[in-house]
Amino acid sequence: MRTTFGVGDLTIHRIVEMERGFIPIMEFLPTLTPELLEEHRSWLEPDALEPDTGFIKLCYQTYIVRTPHHTVLIDSCIGNDKPRGRPAWHYKQDPAYMTALAAAGIGVEQIDYVMCSHLHADHVGWNTRLDNGRYVPTFPNARYLFSQREYDFWTEKNARKPIDYMTDSVLPIVAAGRVDFVTSDHALNDHFRLMPTPGHTIDHYAVAVGRGRDAAVLTGDLLHSPLQARYPEMSMRVDYDPKQSAATRRGFLERYCNTDTLCCTAHFPSPSVGHIKRWADGFRCEPVSA
């Protein structure tokens, strides 16, 4: 499984936490019909669709981008030692994430920035770690970039009814004074630019990287399944605004179709990284060869 990619003066590492079935794909993609699923089953199985269960398979992963000047982590996955509603996530104590980080030669103290494309549980979990009964920043030297609008939305919801991952993975970062609130079109420096890609959440952003051009783009949850590339109007079950999500997705795929920009998806099956190509009236992500 390929986990390191070089593009220009950048090195991109995939840090895989887990890759497994999630829920039935028909439940995950509510507008998917049985007929359409059967039409595409042959290429979805077994990597993107479990043959025995019909569950969509998702890869949970972080991307770490190294430039000549900075080491930046995008989306911090699920995390350990935290209460979650899903058994595979609930108070897990799995060394896979930290093992993968070490295998890439990256220590937690080397991370300069942590970017969260949006504030969902599987994108903020390793923001913090449990230390003597307290959740503290995992990456002690990093500045964490949250969209101000996204943060305001979720803190308002959390005030009405506490949300576990806000309590243990987002608010401790704010309390520690490690967060920079930004707009979703923020330019960090000449290598990193945020791109507004709303729909999945109220102010989701993607991350474009490269000096002077988009050498690579990290999608966050703009896409979950390769089937959504083929059919961009197919939104997933918990999208905040499914119509906006669909329009954002098609616009994104049109922008990068048939270019040399490396597309790094958050949840596509391994290797998860490729180039966007045309497929009839939709698209596909052609994986980068080994």
| pLDDT value of position 1 | 77
Report yes or no: 115 and 155 within 8 Å, Cβ to Cβ.
no
Enumerate residues 6+ apart whose C-beta is below 8 A from 30: 235, 237
Is 2 a residue whose pLDDT tops 90? Answer: no
More confident residue, 48 or 2: 48
- Per-residue pLDDT reduced to its tens digit, 272-284: 999 999 999 999 9
Neighbouring residues of 174: CB distance < 8 A, sequence distance ≥ 6: none
Pairing relation of β-strands 71-74 and 134-137? unpaired
* Predicted TM-score (pTM) of this structure: 0.96
Q: Which three-class secondary structure state does DSSP give residue 143?
A: strand
Name the average pLDDT for the chain: 97
Residue 207, amino acid: V
CA nearest to 119, candidates 159, 161, 73, 76? 76
Q: How far from the centroid of its chain's Cα atoms is residue 47's Cα?
A: 18
Q: What percent of the chain has pLDDT over 70?
A: 100
Superfamily of domain 4-287: Ribonuclease Z/Hydroxyacylglutathione hydrolase-like (3.60.15.10)
Domain ranges of the chain: 4-287
Which amino acid, one-letter code, is at 235? Answer: S
Each residue's pLDDT tens digit, 181-213: 999 999 999 999 999 999 999 999 999 999 999
Instruction: Note whether 289 and 274 are within 8 A (CB).
Output: no
Alpha helices in the chain (DSSP H): 25-28, 34-44, 96-103, 148-160, 164-165, 171-175, 226-230, 242-256
